[in-house]
Amino acid sequence: MEKQKAVFNWSGGKDSALALYKILNDDKFDVVALLTTINEETLTSSVHSIPAEILAKQADSIGIPLHTVSFAKDLSNYDSIMSKTVAYFKKQGVTHFIFGDIFLEDVKTYRESKLNPLGIEVVEPLWNKSSADIMDDFLRSGIKAKIIVTQANKLDQSFIGKNLDKDTMDLFPDDVDVCGENGEYHTLSYAGGLFKKDVTFSILKTDKITYDIKLSNNQIKTFEYWQADITV
């Protein structure tokens, strides 16, 4: 059977790496590109804040081309740019966009609401598994990842730069999801599993980043994160 052409939405973190690892071993899809959204001001990936140069090194090690799209910090141009991006890939015969989400229903629903009307089917290879099962799969895959962002009130600065392994996970407080699916932490995958060679990088320092988010009731809530300052 001919493989279906797909784009993999690549964050650079552990869930992306595990989901792509499963897809590449399934042999159902021809993944034509790794798609990553970039902050046009910082030239780093959304959420994980991985520099574009390191994302390129990840893609080179995996052996799939990286396709980046830049957005304004406030995401005001998100819909128009994503529509153009989908149109670009549909001309190449792409019919599926693949993500590494686990159980956040609102995130999956949002992706489907944006992509399905454009003729793109959403694929979620990790969907609806428990965090414990996902982490077991991750550890068995041999993929290596380091923690590069933490929610400051959940995991302190000392977790930045730690390898995501059993010893580190044993240090997590009880209220931290082992996969960080509620935003407790984010990672950078760099070796093992789907990587043909190690992706080298250095952490220069750790910064404390503050975000003010307007809630649905118009109240402003402040979120604080520890974030690695990463370089090649």
**pLDDT tens digits along 104-143:** 788 888 889 989 999 999 999 999 899 999 999 999 999 9
**184-231, pLDDT tens digit by residue?**
999 999 999 999 999 999 999 999 999 877 776 778 888 899 999 999
All residues at 6 or more sequence positions from 49 whose CB lies less than 8 Å from its CB, including other chains: 39, 42, 148, 149, 227, 228, 230
Beta bridge partners of 70: 38
* Alpha-carbon span 219 to 128, nearest angstrom: 32
- List Cα–Cα distances, 179 to 14, 17, 193, in angstroms: 9, 13, 18
What is the CATH architecture of 4-123? 3-Layer(aba) Sandwich (3.40)
* Alpha-carbon span 225 to 8, nearest angstrom: 27
Chain position carrying tokens 């590069």: 148
Q: Sketch the domain layout of the chain as residue ranges.
A: 4-123, 143-231
| Three-state DSSP state, 175 | coil
Alpha helices in the chain (DSSP H): 14-26, 52-62, 78-90, 105-115, 131-141, 166-169
* Alpha-carbon span 74 to 94, nearest angstrom: 28
**10-56, pLDDT tens digit by residue?**
999 999 999 999 999 998 999 999 999 998 888 899 878 899 999 99
| Three-state DSSP state, 55 | helix
Grade residue 75 by pLDDT with cuts at 50, 70 and 90. Answer: low
Identify the pLDDT of residue 106.
Answer: 80
Full-prediction pTM beyond 0.75? yes
CB 183 within 8 A of CB 101: no
Q: Tokens at residue 28, please?
A: 């159902």
CB 52 within 8 A of CB 38: yes
**146-168, pLDDT tens digit by residue?**
999 999 999 999 999 999 999 99
CB 151 within 8 A of CB 180: no
Examine the pLDDT at 73 and tell me if it is beyond 70: no
